[in-house]
Structure formats: structure tokens, C-alpha cells
């Protein structure tokens, strides 16, 4: 009998582990920042111009660069970007 273990990450969280450092693999639907601002669509250049328009036609928080967590450009012309309030993933070990 072979026993194996899998590491499961809860959906809707940002992974800190291998391949997902600082939320790089986050694909959730959070679209508000820590202060409650709405995220700007990545495909749009207003109110903030940026170089990440290829991320998609949505306004979900992502980490396309080297930030310490997921973030987005905001729709507030006075606040360019802000981190998003998505918890770090808790690892759950599942034996199979």
C-alpha cells in the first residue's frame, strides 16, 4: 500500500509557497483594496497608465511583479495602487 500526502490551499487565499511566492499564483475574484477602493481593470489605462494590460479584461487583484502580496491599480485618481485584503493560505495536509 502506498501512502501519499498532498498539500491543499484554501480557495480565495494567496499562496506564499513554491511557485506562488507573494500571491503570484492567486486567481481569485477579489477586486477591492485593503482600504476598500475598487480596482481598475487591468485592460484599461485610466485613471492610471501602466504596463500590465495583458493580465486580462478584469479588475481582480493580482501580483504581476515583485510586490509582497497581491495588489491592483485603483479607480481613485489620487491613489495609484494598493495591496488587496486577501489572507495568506493555510496549508492543510491531506493523506491519500
Q: Are 7 and 93 in contact (CB under 8 A)?
A: yes
Kindly state the percentage of the chain with pLDDT values over 70. 74
Rounded to two decimals, what is the model's pTM?
0.77
pLDDT value at position 56?
Answer: 95
pLDDT value at position 33?
Answer: 97
Split at pLDDT 50, 70, 90, the class of 66 is: confident
Mean per-residue pLDDT, 15-30: 75
Angle at 56 between CA 50 and CA 60, to 5 degrees: 85
- 25 φ/ψ sector (left φ>0, alpha ψ -120 to 50, else beta): alpha
Q: Where are the alpha helices (DSSP H) in the chain?
A: none
pLDDT value at position 68?
Answer: 87
Phi then psi for residue 58, to 5 deg, are: -150, 170
- For residue 96, the tally of other CB atoms under 10 A from its CB is 7
> Which cell goes with 74?
485603483
Mean per-residue pLDDT, 69-77: 96
Amino acid at each position: 500500500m502506498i501512502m501519499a500526502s498532498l498539500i491543499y490551499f484554501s480557495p480565495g487565499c494567496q499562496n506564499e509557497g513554491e511557485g506562488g511566492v507573494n500571491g503570484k499564483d492567486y486567481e481569485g475574484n477579489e477586486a477591492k483594496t485593503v482600504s476598500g477602493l475598487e480596482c481598475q481593470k487591468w485592460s484599461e489605462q485610466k485613471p492610471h497608465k501602466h504596463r500590465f494590460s495583458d493580465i486580462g479584461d478584469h479588475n481582480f487583484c493580482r501580483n504581476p511583479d515583485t510586490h509582497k502580496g497581491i495588489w491592483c491599480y485603483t479607480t481613485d485618481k489620487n491613489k495609484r495602487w494598493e495591496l488587496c485584503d486577501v489572507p495568506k493560505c493555510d496549508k492543510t495536509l491531506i493523506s491519500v
